[in-house]
């Protein structure tokens, strides 16, 4: 089985096959996005549901440096929302998203959280720093976060609708061992993203030695960090960075063009991210380790009918096949819909939490919050992106081969 994907010309105009996503959404800071989600607006008017819409608050990075993160996930929600509303919505009422744009800033996320304080359910499709900035104002809300780096404790009001971060970053250690690397180089941002990933990689069983170069998440040039790793003769470099920070690492790598392979986190294999770095041509030894499966046949004994249907629905809804971030959005909206139907919007916070802990939710695969220590979605099988056209083609898990 292949776990990594090697670059095959990211600068070209992409037609992603199997997994790729992001749509351009526009939103005003801390307000409902009047133009940011046209498919959602259309879905709310579906003939199957009528009456006052059920409004679901969504805090997301819809503009700014990390806009690919929020827009991709909202795009991934559209097939589920459209299907729900055509089937009668929630109690006969259509579901619509009430989006607030963080503008990819911590301050914007905090303002959005203040706007939605007291809302029964709040969904966040932001990078980890912005999600953490939103949490303090939402202690009375059921908070659904579609990131794999939050890892909220069982007693928290926050629920992570993505696999634990360790399921992604364990792969760094596994790839290194399969390739017989005793050391790997890491360019990590000195923020929650980099620190969380370093923690997961270090905790992995049989961890290899790490040569870590920390960079600022706002640094425009990371060539010094790449040069230090290359000069120390590491056989592999992993970019523990997201969004604009990840783009800075890829740009520096492209300028230096070292022979050592560069491995990215899965979120940076999204259509939106690749489009954002299309102004330059990264070298061909670029890989990604994603954390959510999508391609039928790649997830073992799990049913693939839902996944096949989702791929077709995404293609019809937004014009391209989905990627890891889109799939995260689908899991998030499936959990939210199940919660609103099962526990009800007007139920207490404790009742909502109890419902999520008790029930299995039908999504692309059947998932639940069954971890005894964490409010983290479980039963999501490990998988990988399968992208071709502009970005990633088959590559052996053994990078030394």
For residue 382, give the nearest of 268, 228, 266 by alpha carbon: 266
The whole-angstrom separation of Cα 72 and Cα 276 is: 13
Inform me whether the pLDDT recorded for 40 exceeds 80.
no
Grade residue 36 by pLDDT with cuts at 50, 70 and 90.
very low
Mean pLDDT throughout 154-162? 93
pLDDT at site 214: 97
- At residue 355, the pLDDT reads 97
pLDDT at 1: 23
Model confidence pLDDT, tens digit, residues 172-222: 777 788 788 889 999 999 987 888 888 888 877 666 899 999 999 889 899
Domain 20-163+304-358 has CATH 3.40.50.300: no
Give the pLDDT confidence score for residue 382 in this predicted structure.
52
> Given this model, what pLDDT does residue 47 score?
53
Over residues 46-57, mean pLDDT:
80
* Rounded mean pLDDT, 356-370: 91
Q: Which of 120-124, 193-197, 285-289 has the lowest mean pLDDT?
A: 285-289
Question: Once rounded to an integer, what is the mean pLDDT over residues 150-178?
Answer: 82
Banded model confidence at residue 228, pLDDT cuts 50, 70, 90: very high
For residues 35 and 311, the answer to whether their CB atoms sit within 8 Å is no
| Res 360: pLDDT | 95
Higher pLDDT, 395 or 57: 57
Instruction: Specify the pLDDT at position 283.
Output: 55
**Higher-scoring residue by pLDDT: 269, 191:** 191
Domain topology for 169-290+386-395: Rossmann fold (3.40.50)
Question: What sign has the CA pseudo-torsion 10, 13, 16, 19?
Answer: positive
Q: Residue 287: pLDDT above 80?
A: no
- pLDDT attached to residue 49: 67
The chain-wide mean pLDDT, for the chain, equals 78
- How large is the average pLDDT for residues 122-142? 94
Would you state the pLDDT for residue 390?
32
Q: Which of 172, 182, 78, 180 is nearest to 125 (CA)?
A: 78
**Cβ–Cβ under 8 Å, residues 234 and 184:** yes
Mean pLDDT (whole number) for 135-157: 93
pLDDT of residue 29: 31
20-163+304-358 and 169-290+386-395: identical CATH topology: yes
What pTM does this model have?
Answer: 0.76
Tokens in use for 53?
A: 């819409």
Amino acid 34: pLDDT: 36
Domain parsing of the chain, residue ranges: 20-163+304-358, 169-290+386-395
316: pLDDT strictly greater than 50:
yes
CA-based nearest residue to 113, from 96, 132, 95: 132
Tens digits of per-residue pLDDT, 59-113? 999 999 888 889 989 999 999 999 999 999 999 999 999 999 999 999 999 999 9
Region 357-376 average pLDDT = 92
Tokens of 343: 């526990």
Q: For residues 347-375, b (16+ Cβ closer than 10 Å) or e, as one string?
A: bebeebbebbeeeebebbbebbbeeeebb
- The whole-angstrom separation of Cα 175 and Cα 362 is 32
Taking only the tens place, the pLDDT of each residue in 242-263 is: 778 888 998 899 899 898 888 8
Q: Where are the alpha helices (DSSP H) in 213-323?
A: 223-231, 243-256, 271-276, 305-318
Q: What is the pLDDT of residue 318?
A: 77
Q: Is-contact 179 236, C-beta < 8 A? A: yes
Any idea which of 14-28, 71-85, 141-155 has the lowest mean pLDDT? 14-28
Q: Which residue reads 């604009």 in tokens? A: 244
């Amino acid at each position: 089985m292949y776990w990594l994907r090697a670059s095959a010309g990211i600068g070209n105009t992409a037609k992603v096959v199997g997994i790729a996503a992001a749509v351009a959404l526009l939103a005003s800071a801390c307000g409902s996005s009047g133009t940011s989600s046209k498919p959602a607006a259309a879905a709310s008017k579906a003939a199957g549901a009528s009456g006052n819409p059920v409004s679901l608050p969504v805090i997301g990075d819809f503009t700014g440096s990390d806009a690919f993160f929020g827009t991709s996930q909202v795009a991934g929600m559209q097939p589920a929302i459209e299907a729900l509303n055509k089937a009668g919505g929630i109690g006969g009422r259509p579901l619509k998203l009430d989006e607030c744009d963080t503008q990819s800033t911590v301050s914007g996320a905090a303002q959005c959280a203040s706007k939605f304080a007291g809302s029964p359910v709040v969904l966040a499709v932001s990078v980890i720093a912005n999600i953490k900035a939103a949490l303090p104002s939402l202690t009375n809300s059921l908070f659904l976060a579609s990131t794999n780096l939050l890892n909220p404790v069982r007693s928290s009001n926050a629920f992570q609708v993505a696999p634990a971060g360790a399921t992604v970053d364990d792969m760094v250690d596994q790839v290194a061992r399969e390739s017989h690397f005793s050391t790997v180089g890491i360019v990590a941002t000195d923020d929650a993203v980099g620190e969380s990933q370093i923690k997961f990689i270090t905790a992995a069983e049989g961890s290899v030695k790490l040569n870590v170069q920390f960079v600022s998440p706002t640094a425009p040039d990371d060539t010094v960090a790449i040069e230090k790793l290359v000069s120390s003769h590491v056989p592999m470099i992993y970019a523990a960075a997201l969004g604009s920070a990840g783009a800075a690492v890829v740009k520096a790598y492209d300028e230096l063009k070292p022979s050592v392979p560069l491995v990215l986190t899965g979120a940076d294999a999204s259509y939106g991210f690749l489009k954002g770095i299309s102004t330059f041509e990264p070298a061909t030894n670029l890989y990604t380790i994603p954390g959510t499966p999508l391609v039928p046949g790649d997830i073992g004994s799990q049913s693939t009918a839902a996944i096949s249907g989702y791929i077709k629905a995404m293609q019809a809804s937004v014009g391209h096949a989905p990627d890891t971030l889109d799939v995260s959005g689908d899991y998030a909206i499936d959990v939210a819909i199940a919660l609103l139907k099962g526990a009800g919007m007007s139920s207490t916070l404790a009742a909502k939490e109890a419902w999520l802990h008790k029930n299995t939710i039908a999504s692309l695969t059947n998932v639940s919050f069954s971890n005894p220590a964490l409010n983290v979605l479980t039963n999501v099988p490990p998988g990988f992106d399968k992208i071709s056209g502009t970005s990633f083609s088959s590559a052996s898990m053994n990078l030394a081969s």
